[in-house]
């Protein structure tokens, strides 16, 4: 789903459960088990195991313009750290990584977008 840049802060995560994330943007409503989200789009994500996550797993998400300040990585029901090589690879591209449990990431998305921050997110299922 694409979001019109003029619509404000973009897609909003309005709820979450073990069945998925509820996302709303304008008249669109959808539920995604795992998702990637930018200020302009949201998409279903076939999330690899966190231990095997690579920048290539998120290529479409990370190559948006303008370049995101950081990746908000929701790691599922609990906070887990991604592989150090993954973090280093993104930092080499000028993109920070903020890992947290997916509930916190969904809440942080709303706060950061409300502040107008240009971030992207990848949220694993709960």
Q: Residue 115 region, left (φ>0) first, then alpha (ψ -120 to 50), else beta?
A: alpha
Q: Which residues of the chain have pLDDT under 70?
A: 1-9, 25-30
Look at residue 71 in the predicted model and tell me its pLDDT: 97
Look at residue 17 in the predicted model and tell me its pLDDT: 84
Look at residue 7 in the predicted model and tell me its pLDDT: 43
Residues near 113 by beta carbon (within 8 Å), at least 6 away in sequence: 9, 10, 12, 39, 119
For residue 27, count CB atoms less than 10 angstroms from its CB and return exposed for 0-12, middle for 13-18, buried for 19 or more.
Answer: exposed
Look at residue 30 in the predicted model and tell me its pLDDT: 66
Provide the β-strand partners of residue 74: 100, 123
| Dist. CA 45–CA 78, nearest whole Å | 19
Whole-structure pTM value:
0.88
Look at residue 18 in the predicted model and tell me its pLDDT: 84
Look at residue 1 in the predicted model and tell me its pLDDT: 40
Cα 17 from chain centroid? Answer: 16
Look at residue 113 in the predicted model and tell me its pLDDT: 87
Look at residue 119 in the predicted model and tell me its pLDDT: 94
Domains of the chain as residue ranges with CATH: 5-123 (3.40.1230.10)
| Dist. CA 94–CA 27, nearest whole Å | 34
Look at residue 3 in the predicted model and tell me its pLDDT: 39
Q: Please answer whether residues 74 and 124 qualify as being in contact, where contact means their C-beta atoms are separated by less than 8 angstroms.
A: yes
């Amino acid at each position: 789903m694409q979001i019109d840049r003029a619509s404000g802060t973009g897609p909003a995560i309005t709820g979450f459960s073990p069945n998925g994330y509820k996302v709303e943007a304008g008249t669109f409503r959808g539920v995604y088990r795992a998702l990637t989200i930018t200020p302009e789009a949201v998409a279903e994500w076939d999330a690899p195991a966190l231990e095997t996550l690579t920048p290539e797993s998120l290529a479409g998400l990370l190559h948006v313009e303008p370049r995101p300040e950081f990746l908000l990585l929701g790691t599922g029901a609990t906070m887990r750290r991604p592989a150090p090589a993954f973090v280093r690879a993104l930092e080499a591209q000028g993109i920070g990584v903020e890992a947290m449990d997916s509930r916190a990431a969904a809440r942080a998305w709303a706060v950061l977008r409300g502040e107008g921050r240009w971030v992207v997110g990848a949220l694993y299922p709960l």
